[in-house]
Amino acid sequence: MLEQLSSINWSILSHAYGSAEDVPQMLRDLASPDEQLRGIARGALYTNVYHQGTVYQASAYAIPFLLELLQQETVPEREEVLILLAYLAQGNAYHRQRWHFYTEERKHDSALHAELEEGILWVEKTYEAVSAGLPLYFSLLGDPAPKLRMAALRLLGSLSREAAQIASLLVERFSAEHDQRVQASLLFTLGTLLARQEEAFPTAWHLLEKGLDKGQTDLVRLAAAMARTRGPEAPASAYDLLLERIQYPDALDDLYNEPPWAESRLVFDVIRSFYALPPSFSSLLIPRLIQVLESLNPREERGELKLNGIIAGELADLLLTLVFDTNESNPTRARMRKDLTHLQTALLFAILQSDAVWRWDVGKGHSMASQLFREEQFETIVDVRLYELQKHGLPETRQMLRAFLCLEPQDKDIVRIVSRKANIHWTPPEQKKEVLAELIALNPHCRLADLKMLVGDYSS
């Protein structure tokens, strides 16, 4: 196995960090019985031959050996090799990825154009090398291991130029597959391939429609709905399913994470699927999405859903994108309330009134200041900022948004936390428990989550 590795002069090939002479050992380590060694090798390959979406000379040369590893049943974790191949097939050239950042002067640099052409050449060679394994990937769809079948489907979804051939085979394959996770992966793959094609595939679209039937499992119906909304004239039932999953994601959350198509947690992937909402559905679904946002508030009061605040923030971002025109010549200009439509105003009121949206969470923008409160006590003031509002020329804090909508300020617009120290958010790790206990005693009005955030305790 891998006997031909030494026949290639890897030292004259390049990857992200220069010479590719280290690639042969990484490829050999993928077949190692040592799990840790395999993990290190995979991590190194993702860094070197697929670096932040860029592929190189060594990428194309490494692929035949990855295919060789796939053919050996004794190689552990072959599904990971398939996923690496899927990423390589979708790789791009360094300069093409960053072209929109370059100045006009640099875009006319002949040396840059030469590098761009060289990069695109290796993108093409890399894709061709991956697509050469198509018969092998098809054969793996019959492997006894569901993980391997799902990974093969993930890879097939990256081969858009072979969409017609792959789609036909998947339509035939669906009835022979009985594992719901693999069935869901198959439908995800179909949706990905069909979304990139101008050609009509009626049998494939029909299969996605069939996947929505109530006789299918919830995971399969979810996959069919997410895939179907990428195509033309998606049925209302697909959006109904997705709305339900935003509100009640927990039942499928763990199962959804098993297929390799899951980009993040179920609820966030479902929310992202609404960004392609066609205008014909906007008037019907935007009010319902606002209702979903409002439904998170009672859960916030009951302390349900640990991710409630982040979910609400993602929903607010989606709704702002759908309701405010992001194609304006200057979308970040300050808006005037008198210029807002009825729907835009209704959305801003819903965002303002949602405690879940304004929950202080990791990753949410905020400003923080400490000041002397009374003798030997300080007060930390936290003002949560929603950068999603700022992107659309709207006030980004709750206090500012309330004033924009001509409403009186409220105490809950900002978080006030009393402590015996200034800058308590710099609490050393060994003092966190002690300081948190003191904060709880001093701030019975505050949520425990806010007090934990202040001392940098992110435990559940």
Confidence of residue 458 (pLDDT cuts 50, 70, 90): confident
User: Are 296 and 390 contained in the same domain?
Assistant: no
Q: Do the Cβ atoms of 278 and 204 come closer than 8 Å? A: no
- What pLDDT is attached to residue 327? 55
Domain-ending residue, one of 105, 132, 159: 132
Tell me which of 332 and 378 has the higher pLDDT: 378
First to last CA, the chain: 47
Q: Do the Cβ atoms of 238 and 229 come closer than 8 Å? A: yes
- What pLDDT is attached to residue 46? 95
Rounded Cα–Cα distance for residues 380 and 369 (Å)? 6
- What pLDDT is attached to residue 199? 67
Task: Summarize the confidence of residues 290-317 as an average pLDDT.
Answer: 78
Q: Which of 239, 186, 190, 185 is nearest to 212 (CA)?
A: 239
In-domain check, residue 359: no
User: Are 264 and 296 contained in the same domain?
Assistant: no
Dihedral of the alpha carbons of 263, 266, 270, 272, in degrees to the nearest 10: -40
User: Are 291 and 251 contained in the same domain?
Assistant: no
- What pLDDT is attached to residue 329? 46
Percentage of the residues of the chain whose pLDDT score is greater than 70: 95
Q: pLDDT of 165-218, one tens digit each?
A: 999 999 999 999 999 999 999 999 999 898 877 667 888 988 999 999 988 999
In-domain check, residue 3: yes
User: Are 123 and 6 contained in the same domain?
Assistant: yes
User: Are 347 and 446 contained in the same domain?
Assistant: no
User: Are 37 and 156 contained in the same domain?
Assistant: no
Rounded Cα–Cα distance for residues 384 and 312 (Å)? 14
pLDDT of 307 higher than 90: no
Tell me which of 317 and 198 has the higher pLDDT: 317
In-domain check, residue 201: yes
In-domain check, residue 360: no
User: Are 112 and 227 contained in the same domain?
Assistant: no
Confidence of residue 303 (pLDDT cuts 50, 70, 90): low
Contacts 24+ apart (CB under 8 A), 195-203: 195/230, 195/231, 196/160, 196/163, 197/160, 197/163, 197/164, 199/163, 199/164, 201/163, 201/164, 201/167, 203/168, 203/171
Domain-ending residue, one of 228, 249, 275: 275
Q: The whole model's pTM is what?
A: 0.83
Task: Summarize the confidence of residues 337-366 as an average pLDDT.
Answer: 89
Task: Summarize the confidence of residues 81-95 as an average pLDDT.
Answer: 96
Angstrom CA distances, 131 to 60, 207, 212, stand at: 11, 25, 31
pLDDT of 409 higher than 60: yes
Confidence of residue 368 (pLDDT cuts 50, 70, 90): confident
Q: pLDDT of 112-166, one tens digit each?
A: 999 999 999 999 999 999 999 999 999 999 999 999 999 999 999 999 999 999 9
Q: Do the Cβ atoms of 76 and 33 come closer than 8 Å? A: yes
Q: pLDDT of 8-40, one tens digit each?
A: 999 999 999 999 999 999 999 999 999 999 999
- What pLDDT is attached to residue 457? 82
- What pLDDT is attached to residue 361? 82
User: Are 77 and 168 contained in the same domain?
Assistant: no
What is the extent of the structural domain holding 320? 281-353
Task: Summarize the confidence of residues 240-262 as an average pLDDT.
Answer: 86
Rounded Cα–Cα distance for residues 208 and 203 (Å)? 9
* Cα dihedral sign, 340-343-346-351: negative
Rounded Cα–Cα distance for residues 267 and 357 (Å)? 15
Rounded Cα–Cα distance for residues 460 and 458 (Å)? 7
- What pLDDT is attached to residue 308? 77
In-domain check, residue 403: yes
In-domain check, residue 49: yes
- What pLDDT is attached to residue 404? 95
Rounded Cα–Cα distance for residues 415 and 437 (Å)? 18
Q: pLDDT of 277-287, one tens digit each?
A: 888 788 889 99
User: Are 122 and 151 contained in the same domain?
Assistant: no
In-domain check, residue 217: yes
Domain-ending residue, one of 107, 132, 157: 132
pLDDT of 340 higher than 60: yes
User: Are 95 and 199 contained in the same domain?
Assistant: no
- Determine phi and psi for 382, rounding to 5 degrees: -115, 125
pLDDT of 304 higher than 70: no
Task: Summarize the confidence of residues 253-264 as an average pLDDT.
Answer: 86
Task: Summarize the confidence of residues 239-268 as an average pLDDT.
Answer: 86
User: Are 117 and 14 contained in the same domain?
Assistant: yes
Which residues does residue 159 pair with via DSSP β-bridges, in sequence order?
none
In-domain check, residue 138: no
Confidence of residue 369 (pLDDT cuts 50, 70, 90): confident
User: Are 198 and 262 contained in the same domain?
Assistant: yes
Q: Report the domain count for the chain.
A: 4
pLDDT of 301 higher than 60: no
Rounded Cα–Cα distance for residues 346 and 361 (Å)? 25
pLDDT of 412 higher than 90: no
